[in-house]
């Protein structure tokens, strides 16, 4: 099975080592460097419909990069689109759901397909709209987060509340629901007012048992801030 490792601390590279005949999938434009034994092709993972769902709903590329060691073993370096950390997750006994833009790469036996969310979560959460990514198979999955990443453990009887703009990936067995604020007793109007005044917006409440990967920066908030600093052309 291909081996992933992380090189560097700030904006690290993702290093992949492949034996002859092995292959990996990665997001379009993720490849930085590869040795001559490796070949890169653009392919649709999961067929036309799954590729179209990922493109239209999660903003991922229609064609993904497939890197294969055709003529012998080889190494390659990959990097995510946004600056930030990467996290290697073992897929098999544990499967994951992915937020927008989190996917970087995976071993060839790991599939990432589109899954429809509940109407409430789809309308208000920033974790993927009506569809989110969902893994199956066995191997390694690599995700990225804007800024630093950290893995939280959710345990039974202890709900965790996370700003939805900071969620990267979560255990598929976890239950989650959208909420307008962190105050469960405020009522609908109170929740909306609290969201406006606190600046927190929507949060996700995770319960059950499993893991959630979060990132330190909110991509949407950063884009909004950056746009406010750029003067329009006259």
Q: For position 141, which CATH number holds?
A: 3.60.160.10
Residue 56's pLDDT band, with cuts at 50, 70 and 90, is very low
At 142-164, the pLDDT tens digits run 999 999 999 999 999 999 999 98
Q: Name the 3-class secondary structure at 3.
A: strand
pLDDT band at 177 (very low <50, low <70, confident <90, very high): confident
Domain that holds residue 141: 3-217
Checking if the pLDDT of 8 tops 50, the result is yes
pTM: 0.80
pLDDT of 63 > 80? The answer is no
Lowest mean pLDDT, pick from 142-151, 154-163, 189-198, 216-225: 189-198
182 in any annotated domain:
yes
- The verdict on residue 227 lying in a domain is no
Domain count, the chain: 1
For residue 60, tell me if it sits in a domain. yes
Is residue 47 one of the residues assigned to a domain?
yes
Over the chain, what is the mean pLDDT?
82
Q: Is residue 229 part of a domain?
A: no
Q: Can you tell me the distance from the alpha carbon of 226 to that of 220, in angstroms, rounded to the nearest whole number?
A: 10
| 8 Å CB contact between 168 and 145 | yes
Identify whether the C-beta of residue 194 lies closer than 8 Å to the C-beta of residue 186: yes
Tokens encoding 134: 């969902």
**At 161, phi and psi to the nearest 5?**
-105, 125
Do the domain assignments include residue 231?
Answer: no
The size of the chain, in residues, is: 234
- Inside any domain, residue 223: no
The per-residue pLDDT for 149 is 95
Residue 222 located in a structural domain:
no
């Amino acid at each position: 099975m291909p081996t992933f490792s992380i090189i560097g601390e700030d904006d690290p590279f993702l290093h992949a080592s492949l034996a002859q005949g092995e292959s990996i999938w990665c997001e379009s434009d993720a490849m930085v460097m590869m040795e001559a034994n490796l070949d890169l092709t653009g392919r649709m993972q999961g067929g036309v419909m799954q590729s179209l769902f990922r493109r239209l709903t999660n903003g991922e590329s229609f064609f993904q990069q497939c890197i294969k060691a055709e003529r012998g073993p080889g190494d390659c370096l990959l990097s995510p689109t946004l600056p930030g950390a990467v996290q290697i997750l073992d897929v098999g006994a544990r499967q994951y759901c992915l937020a927008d833009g989190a996917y970087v790469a995976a071993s060839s036996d790991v599939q990432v397909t589109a899954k429809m969310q509940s109407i409430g979560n789809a309308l208000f959460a920033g974790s993927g709209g009506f569809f989110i990514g969902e893994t199956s198979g066995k191997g390694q999955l690599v995700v990225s987060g804007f800024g630093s990443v950290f893995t939280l453990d959710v345990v039974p009887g202890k709900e965790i509340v996370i700003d939805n703009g900071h969620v990267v990936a979560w255990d598929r067995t976890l239950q989650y629901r959208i909420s307008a604020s962190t105050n469960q007793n405020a009522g609908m109007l109170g929740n909306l007012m609290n969201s406006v005044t606190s600046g927190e917006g929507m949060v996700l409440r995770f319960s059950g048992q499993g893991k959630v990967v979060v990132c330190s920066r909110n991509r949407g908030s950063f884009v909004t801030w950056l746009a406010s600093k750029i003067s329009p052309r006259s």
